[in-house]
Amino acid sequence: MLDHVSLTVSDLERAERFYDAIFAALGVPKVGSEHADAWIGYGERSDAEHPERSYFSVRLGPQPDDAPRRHCCFKAPSRAAVEAFWHAGLAHGGIDLGAPGLRHYHASYYAAFLFDPDGNRIEAVCHRTDAG
């Protein structure tokens, strides 16, 4: 459904350490970082030959407003990747919003929740029934 998503952070270097760590845990490649232009990018950009790709960018901006219901959720290839996401996030300035575990959304919904260092609510989820 989504082609690309961007969010803002108030400290690009701090955010880069955090997002590099969580996306490495999820196996998502970093596609660029240009501090002069105030952005960092992850995933793969869509094009005519690869319209299924998704891209996520982090951009420098004011401290995000408090919006506790707003969040981004990233797909994880396994439950171990969800756990690695959560640990990496905590080790790089994230705040725990829910340790890895099964959730009520469906029988195999395995997720973890964090605030990034700027207060953006993020999640990683694995939907696999075999625990991956």
Per the structure, the count of domains in the chain is: 1
Q: Tokens representing 32?
A: 């660029």
Q: Tokens representing 70?
A: 């707003």
Q: Could you tell me the residue range of the domain that residue 105 belongs to?
A: 4-126
Say which CATH number the domain at 17 has: 3.10.180.10
> Which pLDDT belongs to residue 117?
94
| Assigned domain for 56 exists | yes
Per-residue pLDDT of 49-90, as tens digits, reads 999 999 999 999 887 777 767 889 999 999 999 999 999 999
| Assigned domain for 49 exists | yes
Beta strands in the chain (DSSP E): 4-9, 30-34, 39-43, 55-60, 71-75, 95-102, 110-115, 121-126
Can you give the C-alpha Rg of the chain in angstroms? 15
| Assigned domain for 51 exists | yes
| Assigned domain for 131 exists | no
**pLDDT confidence band for 1 (50 / 70 / 90):** confident
